[in-house]
């Protein structure tokens, strides 16, 4: 359940942005979540509701945009698109792959008042 | 609330070895030892951000308009968009970067030990510290949800240890580790072992400022563990297969474990050890000392380059 900690980071980031950008309330948050970011969307949604209570983003809509993953294939020596962590390389069928894209979780933008 | 970095109100507690501070109660910590000349600017994320008005058409991801919803009258609706494009872990990564700078300044080699509960992290540490005693200075940060048992086990073999109790938290983060570092005597050139909360999932995402990451897997945990919990193995520089003394009593396929580790993390080194029998310990200690030496040489080279650059400035100024 490190999703709670992620939501707390998200709240802090929004609070900092609210001072820098001069807004008082967030009505919608859009997150870009990589396929290999290690985040469970449902756990994040639950954590979001709990952590945002009483904050500038209480009741805000949470939109999660999933971004596709890529991985370095040690057999091909190249970056390939990869849907699942344990999938074989779509090019050569190799199994030794390390994700190198879609590993991040970013705040894309906020709708604010 | 902590004045230096504004933290506070969380359930995290630190204990030992600085008794004066420990007695101040939950989440007391000191920033005194840290120069406030910029070395301790907590990692405020510097992700760029800018705003644009309702009328500004700006297409984002397919199917998801970036304009504020219900903004039928541009300029009149108070809603607007703020683009942030900031990694959610940016704050943690900022604290980790500060920890790394502090550690590098004194040539301290830091290791983040990750594993599920019961893999033998503390036992490995205790035996490792006994082997280092008198040769290499070391200190330990212990992470657990509750109890100071592990820190006490470390102190019992004569090394300083700070216990972080995360309460309900499932992992250590770089901010907690920075505060734990404030409390520890960290001898220059020594080794800092950070034993993470026993958890095969959450700690993987949090950089603590370590130089190397070690994931422990005990031989009783099943050959397919690396496939089930890839994240914790993926970032490891070294995988230690622990409790090797139990192998004769188990139907464990060692080649399957090695194959699964290599599949998830083709570049990780795998060493089989037993803190009980001593099997593999020489190899583990050689890895540790080799990695530490490499890091110290790297830091020394960087310091020499900096010294040369500064001498160059003096030389130019004198001309």
Q: Which chain B residues are Cβ-neighbours of A17 within 8 angstroms?
A: 49, 82, 84
**Domain total in chain A:** 1
Binned average pLDDT, 10 residues per bin, chain B of 319 residues: 53 74 39 38 42 42 49 63 90 96 96 97 98 96 96 96 93 96 92 97 95 98 96 97 96 96 97 97 98 97 95 81
Q: What is the pLDDT of residue B183?
A: 95
Q: Note the pLDDT of residue B78.
A: 81
Instruction: Give the per-residue pLDDT at B69.
Output: 53
Nearest CA in chain A to B204: A38
- At the fourth CATH level, the homologous superfamily of domain B92-297 is P-loop containing nucleotide triphosphate hydrolases (3.40.50.300)
CB < 8 Å to B266, chain A? 74, 96, 98
pLDDT at position B68: 56
Of B45, B171, B227, the CB nearest to A86: B227
- Do A2 and B201 count as a contact with CB atoms less than 8 A apart? yes
Give backbone dihedrals phi and psi of A97, rounded to 5 degrees, phi first.
-135, 140
Asked if B88 lies within 8 A of A111 by C-beta distance, the reply is no
Cβ–Cβ under 8 Å, residues A111 and A26? yes
CB contact under 8 A, B265 and A110: no
pLDDT at residue B84 in the model: 86
ipTM of the complex as predicted = 0.88
| Nearest-5° Cα angle at B180, B149 to B3 | 135
Whether cis (ω within 30° of 0) applies to the bond prior to B81 is no
pLDDT of residue B80: 93
Q: Which residues constitute the domain of residue A90?
A: 3-112
Instruction: Name residues 280-319 of chain B within 8 A of A (Cβ).
Output: none
- Chain B residue numbers touching A21 (CB-CB < 8 A): 49, 51, 82
Residue A1 binned pLDDT confidence (cut-offs 50, 70, 90): low
pLDDT of the residue at B46 = 41
C-alpha closest to that of B280 among B317, B252, B242, B309 = B242
Task: Name the residue facing B51 among A6, A21, A99 (closest C-beta).
Answer: A21
Q: List, edge to edge, every strand of the sheet that includes B80-87.
A: A61-67, A26-34, A105-112, B80-87, B50-52
B204 contacts A107? CB cut-off 8 A: no
pLDDT tens sequence across B99-154: 999 999 999 999 999 999 999 999 999 999 999 999 999 999 999 999 999 999 99
Place of tokens 């080799």: B290
Cβ of A13 within 8 Å of Cβ of B91? The answer is yes
What is the C-alpha to C-alpha distance for residues B173 and B275, in angstroms, rounded to an integer?
27
Decide if B205 and A38 are in contact by the 8 Å CB cutoff: yes
CATH code of A11's domain: 3.30.2320.80
Partners of A65 on chain B (C-beta within 8 Å) are 61, 64
Q: So what's the pLDDT on residue A2?
A: 86
pLDDT at B38: 37
pLDDT computed for residue B317 by the predictor: 73
Q: Does B88 touch chain A (CB under 8 A)?
A: yes
* Inter-axis angle of helices B281-318 and B121-132, nearest 10: 70
Chain A residue with minimum CA distance to B83? A109
For the CA atoms of chain B, what is the radius of gyration? 23
State the DSSP code for A89: P
Confidence at residue B234, expressed as pLDDT on a 0 to 100 scale: 95
pLDDT at A22: 93
Q: Which of A23-32, A52-61, B56-65, B272-281 has the lowest mean pLDDT?
A: B56-65
B116: CB partners within 8 A, 6+ apart:
B198, B199, B200, B221
């Amino acid at each position: 359940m490190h999703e709670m900690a992620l939501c707390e980071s998200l709240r802090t980031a929004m609070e900092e942005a609210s001072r820098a950008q001069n807004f008082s309330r967030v009505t919608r948050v859009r997150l870009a979540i990589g396929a290999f970011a290690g985040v469970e969307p449902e756990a994040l949604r639950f954590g979001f509701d709990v952590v945002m209570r009483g904050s500038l983003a209480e009741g805000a809509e949470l939109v999660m945009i999933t971004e596709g993953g890529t991985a370095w294939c040690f057999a091909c020596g190249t970056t390939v698109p990869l849907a699942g962590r344990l999938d074989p390389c779509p090019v050569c069928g190799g199994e030794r792959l390390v994700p190198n894209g879609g590993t991040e979780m970013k705040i894309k933008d906020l709708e604010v008042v | 609330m902590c004045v230096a970095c504004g933290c506070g109100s969380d359930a995290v507690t630190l204990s030992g070895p600085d008794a004066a501070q420990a007695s101040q109660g939950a989440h007391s910590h000191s920033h005194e030892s840290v120069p406030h000349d910029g070395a301790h600017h907590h990692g405020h994320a510097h992700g760029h951000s800018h705003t644009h008005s309702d009328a500004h058409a700006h297409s984002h991801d397919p199917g998801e308009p970036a304009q504020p919803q219900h903004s039928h009258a541009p300029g009149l609706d108070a809603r607007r968009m703020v683009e942030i494009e900031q990694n959610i872990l940016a704050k943690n990564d900022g604290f980790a970067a500060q920890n790394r700078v502090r550690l590098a300044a004194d040539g301290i080699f830091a290791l983040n030990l990750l594993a599920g509960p019961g893999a033998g992290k503390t036992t490995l540490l205790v035996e490792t510290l006994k082997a280092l005693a008198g040769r290499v200075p070391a200190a330990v940060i212990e992470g657990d949800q509750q109890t100071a048992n592990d820190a006490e086990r470390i102190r019992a073999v004569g090394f300083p240890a700070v216990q972080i109790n995360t309460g309900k938290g499932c992992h250590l983060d770089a901010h907690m580790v920075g505060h734990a570092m404030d409390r520890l005597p960290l001898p220059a050139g020594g080794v800092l072992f950070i034993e993470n909360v026993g958890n095969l999932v959450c700690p993987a995402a949090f950089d603590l400022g370590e130089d190397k990451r070690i994931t422990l897997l005990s031989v009783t945990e099943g050959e397919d563990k690396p496939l089930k919990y890839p994240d914790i193995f993926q970032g490891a520089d070294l995988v230690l297969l622990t409790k090797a003394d139990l192998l004769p009593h188990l139907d464990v396929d060692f080649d399957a474990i090695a194959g699964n580790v290599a599949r998830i993390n083709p570049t990780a080194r795998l060493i089989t050890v037993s803190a009980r029998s001593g099997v593999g310990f020489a190899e583990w200690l050689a890895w540790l000392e080799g990695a530490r030496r490499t890091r110290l040489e790297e830091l020394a080279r960087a310091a020499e380059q900096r010294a040369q650059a500064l001498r160059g400035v003096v030389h130019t100024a004198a001309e």
